[in-house]
Amino acid sequence: AQSVTQPDIHITVSEGASLELRCNYSYGATPYLFWYVQSPGQGLQLLLKYFSGDTLVQGIKGFEAEFKRSQSSFNLRKPSVHWSDAAEYFCAVGAVGNYKLSFGAGTTVTVRA
Amino acid sequence: DTAVSQTPKYLVTQMGNDKSIKCEQNLGHDTMYWYKQDSKKFLKIMFSYNNKELIINETVPNRFSPKSPDKAHLNLHINSLELGDSAVYFCASSQSERGDTQYFGPGTRLTVL
């Protein structure tokens, strides 16, 4: 069975500072990996995804993530955070032929001025 | 144009009532899903339909009954509502079952009093 761990429940970062959110997955084969963002009262928006190929993936809003098979990780980064990045971030894992998408518990990001 | 839409956005009702949430996608996708997000923001899949056929049915009480009249619609009917059913329910869709990206609706916040 696939599973995702997001070790950080809450992260506070200053506007303009860099951000890194951790994600560790568990899956026997090559996973499909996703990062979604949920702004307050909103649905989930896809930031980026990894299916295969280049392990550094670029997404929307200036986010990127790096797939590291040896560490079973898919960490999300942004070099300079904006106040509008305050939201809940979810890492998710899926797989070929598997309908299920398993989500981590989420990381709440607070941006201080 | 909204890709995945849900109605209503908010639903407040009394225990014991029956209610429905509707979902429509205009992406031409084959697969649709229902997720439940609890008060701790944990997302868990409930059901998935592919081409109007049920393919995932997690351990959900049988008071919950999904219905897919066509590929573009997946409705969720809940009988005899309980306090514990209070949550945000998200509909999602993907192109196919092959671990494709899932696109989420804005969510329906259900409050059972």
Q: Round the average pLDDT of chain A to a whole number and report it.
A: 92
List the structure tokens of A98: 């598997």
CB B104 within 8 A of CB B91: yes
| Average pLDDT of the segment spanning B87-95 | 94
CB B19 within 8 A of CB B108: no
| Residue of chain A minimizing CA distance to B92 | A44
Top-confidence residue, A83 or A30:
A83
CB A96 within 8 A of CB A32: yes
Whether residue B55 is predicted with pLDDT greater than 90 in this model: the reply is: no
Ranges B22-26, B37-41, B54-58, most confident = B22-26
Q: What is the pLDDT of residue B21?
A: 98
pLDDT above 70 as % of chain A: 99
| Average pLDDT of the segment spanning B58-81 | 93
Q: What is the pLDDT of residue B59?
A: 79
Closest Cβ–Cβ partner in A49, A96, A106 for B98 = A96
Radius of gyration for chain B, computed over Cα atoms and rounded to the nearest angstrom = 13
| Average pLDDT of the segment spanning B79-104 | 89
The DSSP bridge partners found for residue B25 are B4
Which residue type is seen at B29? Answer: H
Q: What is the pLDDT of residue A90?
A: 97
Top-confidence residue, A27 or A87:
A87
A97 CB within 8 Å of a chain B CB? yes
Residues 81-100 of B with CB under 8 A from A: 90, 92, 97-99
Q: Where are the alpha helices (DSSP H) in chain A?
A: none
Which value, to the nearest 10 degrees, does the dihedral of the CA atoms of residues A8, A9, A12, A17 take?
Answer: 40
Q: What is the pLDDT of residue B82?
A: 96
Which stretches does DSSP call E strand in B1-113? 4-7, 10-13, 19-25, 31-37, 43-50, 53-57, 64-70, 73-78, 87-94, 103-104, 108-112
Best CA proximity match to A91, nearest among A65, A52, A68, A61: A65
| Residue of chain B minimizing CA distance to A44 | B104
Neighbouring C-beta atoms of residue B52, cutoff 10 Å: 15
Query: Which residues have C-beta within 8 Å of that of residue A3, sequence separation ≥ 6?
Result: A25, A26, A27, A93, A102
Best CA proximity match to A106, nearest among A87, A90, A92: A90
* Three-class DSSP category at B101: coil
Whether residue A73 is predicted with pLDDT greater than 90 in this model: the reply is: yes
